[in-house]
A = this chain, B = another copy of it.
Amino acid sequence: MKLDVLFSPVLIDELFFTGKTTVVIDILRASTTIVFALANGAKEIVPVGTVEFAVKVSGGMFGGQTLLGGERNTKKIEGFALGNSPSEYTSETVGGKIIVFYSTNGSRAIVKAKYSDNLFICSFNNIKALAKHLNKLNEDVIILCSGNNNFFCLEDSVCAGMLVNELITGKKINELTDASISAMTLFKAFGKDIYKMLSETEHGQLLIKNGYGEDLKVCSQLNNMDVIPFYSGNAIKVLK
């Protein structure tokens, strides 16, 4: 099992993912929000690469069943029903609904990885459940950090390192790359207090400044959910 980590989606193009098993991480906040939405009964999430496409796609869907969600530069987009705070995605709001979702980093990373054979979404909330499933699959894994406006970000890298660590624990043979070894090193240095780490990162600081400090608590919860979001047919659903 070869485990590789990409610290930014800009490093590769879409075709890179053909035939791969990929995990997308955007801790602050898209991958956390997606895990929450599905855990709270959303029917599916349709990730899109542009705001314009989100509006277009949702227009062709059944009004009452579809919600627009996401953010641009941390803030809710005008005309969207939901922003990108996981706590907005309650069962009352999203239960049974299709969410068309755009975010600056996460949804675009998912769209970029759409040609993967298997495409999963990971946050701190569901990391153990996902690792268990990946170990059963026993395929090479590409862990794609969504990053921060194409740049490296610490929180996605620490989560990637934690996932690598989960995947290698108790196994004898694994092939690690410079990037997966480095992610694991960052997890070991910063993974002991996830909330503290999140609140000190560049993106965490920006969220606090913009009034989304409470989101960091939700995003730092570890293994409190067992849903595995799986991308198939242009939408993310719970893996059954």
Chain A, interface SS category: helix
Q: Is the CB of B178 within 8 A of A182?
A: no
Q: Does A137 contact B (CB under 8 A)?
A: no
Question: Which residues from 148 to 203 on chain A have a C-beta closer than 8 Å to any C-beta of chain B?
Answer: 148, 150-155, 157, 177-179, 181-182, 185-186, 189-190, 201-203
Query: Chain B residues near A154 (CB, 8 Å)?
Result: 178, 181-182
CA gap between A184 and B202 in the complex, in Å: 16
Tell me if A8 counts as interface (CB < 8 A to partner B).
yes
Instruction: Assess the B185–A202 pair: CB atoms within 8 A.
Output: no
**Considering residues A151, A155, A181, A182, which has the most beta carbons from chain B within 10 angstroms of its beta carbon?**
A182
Given A177-B202, A189-B189, A202-B177, also A182-B152 (CB < 8 A): yes
CB distance from A15 to the nearest CB of B (A): 15
Interface residues of A, count at CB 8 A: 26
Q: How many copies does the complex hold?
A: 2
Query: B10, A7: Cβ atoms under 8 Å?
Result: no
Residues of B with C-beta under 8 A to A157: 182
- A147 — nearest CB in chain B belongs to which residue? B11
**Across-interface contacts of A181 in B (CB, < 8 A):** 154
> Which residues of the other chain, B, contact A11 by a CB distance below 8 angstroms?
8, 10-11, 150-152
Q: Give the residue name and chain of the B residue nearest to A185 (CB).
A: B189
Chain B: minimal CB distance from A164 (Å): 14
A110 smallest CB distance to B (angstroms): 20
Closest CB of chain B to A179's CB: distance in Å?
4
The minimal Cβ–Cβ distance linking A200 to chain B, given in whole angstroms, is 9
17 residue pairs from A and B, CB less than 8 Å apart: A6-B151, A6-B152, A7-B7, A7-B152, A8-B8, A11-B150, A11-B152, A151-B179, A152-B182, A154-B178, A154-B181, A177-B202, A178-B201, A182-B182, A182-B186, A185-B185, A185-B190
CB within 8 Å of B: which residues of A? 5-8, 10-11, 148, 150-155, 157, 177-179, 181-182, 185-186, 189-190, 201-203
Nearest first, the 6 A-B pairs at minimum CB distance are: A154-B178, A152-B179, A185-B189, A178-B202, A153-B178, A178-B201
